[in-house]
Amino acid sequence: MVKLNENYKKLKVNYLFADIAKRVKDFQAKNPSLGIIRMGIGDVTMPLALPVVSALKNASQEMGAKETFKGYGEYQGYPFLQQAIKDYYTEFGVDLSLNETFVSDGAKSDVANFAELFSEDNTAIIPDPVYPVYLDSNLMSGRNITLIDGNEKNGFLPLPYSGLKGGIIYLCSPNNPTGAVYTKAQLKLWVDFANKNGAVILFDSAYEAFVQNPELPRSIYEIEGAKTCAVEFCSFSKTAGFTGTRCGYTVVPNDLKISGESLNAMWLRRQATKFNGTAYIIQRGAEAVFSKEGQIAVKNTLNYYRENALIMAETLTKCGIWFTGGENSPYLWLKCGMDSWEFFDLLLNKINVVGTPGAGFGKCGEGYFRLTAFNTKENTIEAMKRLKSLLS
């Protein structure tokens, strides 16, 4: 008789966003005429930029002609995209080799799968609150987990402390769900901790493009020593609207070795066995994100979302509500003054606005609430108007 992976029983039955979707669906079924504004799930609303669409169409055309057809690509991605990623990193003063970049079908897959390279007999250090994938993927593997608390006192940016133990450290900055961003000095504490203890940092930088303050790091490799202890996961999802187009990249430095073993070589072996590359068409679309025209279009979209975040931040400030995020992040994390699912139901029922209850991101998220800047400007203004009248 086959034995099941019993670790699945440690998972909560429903996925956070499925819970939310159900409550919204039930509400809408009862109130079909009410216009719900969704500021919950971190999905984008602005279309792909025209240079990206052109690249996708051209690549599709190439796939239809024998002379330009592409079969299996490289496991790490096409060199044209690896080169564009490498060039992009020079903007932050980070120098990468081509073979240090791995093109993926999105940061989520890689960040969830990377820990396969490590024994299940490891402790994972995971911030609370945080993107549920780090916790769930480690629960599925049966690893020990040490949660490190985010709270008002540390601005939801937990730091290493004396006695903290664990081999795998998950960090996300700009953070999902709190929007808080580690400074270089704070990240240096983590890098030093990891190098000193032989730990590996899995750094999720999916929201780096939202950083506006030039003093804040957009890549962990801006921190001295990071190349010997950190892997970085990034995505085109939020930068270029690729949530439904699926492309990301992972950086595994050649200098990152554990007991003499190269994690870069191990990850390549993993990908060669369990992945077959990202579609050629999609990689051409991603390449266009980095073109001059692509970058102009992408920056316009980012500014559009940033303006939304600003509108939201101003409203919360006016209402005297404590929050993090917004300035260098598409997320705002506010103190709701009540149970977070209660606040969710209040907003849904009273002002027909959907957000994400903080409790869905961990026990320290209880009493907090996430709003996102990814809706349209019109909806953002309307939602904030409703919120203001509800709270005042």
Q: How many whole angstroms separate alpha carbon 58 and alpha carbon 292?
A: 18
Minimum distance from residue 117 beta carbon to a copy of itself (Å) = 6
Nearer to a copy of itself, 324 or 356 (CB): 356
Beta bridge partner(s), residue 258: 261
Residue 117 contacts a copy of itself per CB under 8 A: yes
Q: Which stretch binds a copy of itself (CB under 8 A): 56-64, 178-186, 305-313, 328-336?
A: 56-64
Q: How many whole angstroms separate alpha carbon 191 and alpha carbon 254?
A: 17
Residue 108 contacts a copy of itself per CB under 8 A: yes
Please report, as residue ranges, which positions from 135 to 194 form the binding site for a copy of itself (by CB under 8 A): 136-137, 140, 167-168
Inter-CA distances, 269 with 231, 262, 282, Å: 16, 11, 23
Among 44, 126, 309, 371, binds a copy of itself (CB under 8 A): 44
Residue 64 contacts a copy of itself per CB under 8 A: yes
Residue 106 contacts a copy of itself per CB under 8 A: yes
Edge-to-edge strands, sheet with 331-335: 323-325, 331-335, 368-372, 356-357
Are residues 165 and 123 in contact, defined by beta-carbon separation less than 8 angstroms? yes
Please report, as residue ranges, which positions from 291 to 320 form the binding site for a copy of itself (by CB under 8 A): none
Q: Which stretch binds a copy of itself (CB under 8 A): 107-115, 218-226, 299-307, 315-323?
A: 107-115
Nearer to a copy of itself, 69 or 322 (CB): 69
Hey, what's the torsion of the CAs at 238, 348, 18, 323, to 10 degrees?
Answer: 50
Among 24, 36, 133, 346, binds a copy of itself (CB under 8 A): 133
Q: How many whole angstroms separate alpha carbon 114 and alpha carbon 134?
A: 10
Q: What is the DSSP string of 173-207?
A: SS-TTT-----HHHHHHHHHHHHHHT-EEEEE-TT
Listed as own residue / partner, the contacts of 184-187 with beta carbons closer than 8 Å and 24 or more positions apart are: 184/215, 184/216, 184/217, 184/222, 184/223, 186/157, 186/159, 187/217, 187/220, 187/222, 187/223, 187/226
Minimum distance from residue 280 beta carbon to a copy of itself (Å) = 5
Please report, as residue ranges, which positions from 263 to 292 form the binding site for a copy of itself (by CB under 8 A): 266, 269-270, 272-282, 285
Minimum distance from residue 45 beta carbon to a copy of itself (Å) = 7
Please report, as residue ranges, which positions from 322 to 381 form the binding site for a copy of itself (by CB under 8 A): none
Minimum distance from residue 266 beta carbon to a copy of itself (Å) = 6
Please report, as residue ranges, which positions from 228 to 247 form the binding site for a copy of itself (by CB under 8 A): 241, 243-246
Nearer to a copy of itself, 75 or 89 (CB): 75
Are residues 175 and 209 in contact, defined by beta-carbon separation less than 8 angstroms? no
SS3 label, residue 372: strand
Q: Which stretch binds a copy of itself (CB under 8 A): 119-127, 155-163, 210-218, 344-352?
A: 119-127
Among 39, 52, 171, 223, binds a copy of itself (CB under 8 A): 52
Q: How many whole angstroms separate alpha carbon 18 and alpha carbon 153?
A: 31
Minimum distance from residue 12 beta carbon to a copy of itself (Å) = 10
Nearer to a copy of itself, 72 or 161 (CB): 72
Minimum distance from residue 322 beta carbon to a copy of itself (Å) = 30
Residue 22 contacts a copy of itself per CB under 8 A: no
Q: CA 74 from chain center: how many Å?
A: 25
Q: How many whole angstroms separate alpha carbon 388 and alpha carbon 392?
A: 6
Residue linked to tokens 């983590």: 190
Minimum distance from residue 105 beta carbon to a copy of itself (Å) = 5
C-beta neighbour count of 368 within 10 angstroms: 28
Among 30, 259, 292, 378, binds a copy of itself (CB under 8 A): 259
Please report, as residue ranges, which positions from 65 to 104 form the binding site for a copy of itself (by CB under 8 A): 65-66, 68-73
Residue linked to tokens 């133990």: 165
Count of positions on this chain that bind a copy of itself (CB under 8 A): 82
Minimum distance from residue 67 beta carbon to a copy of itself (Å) = 9
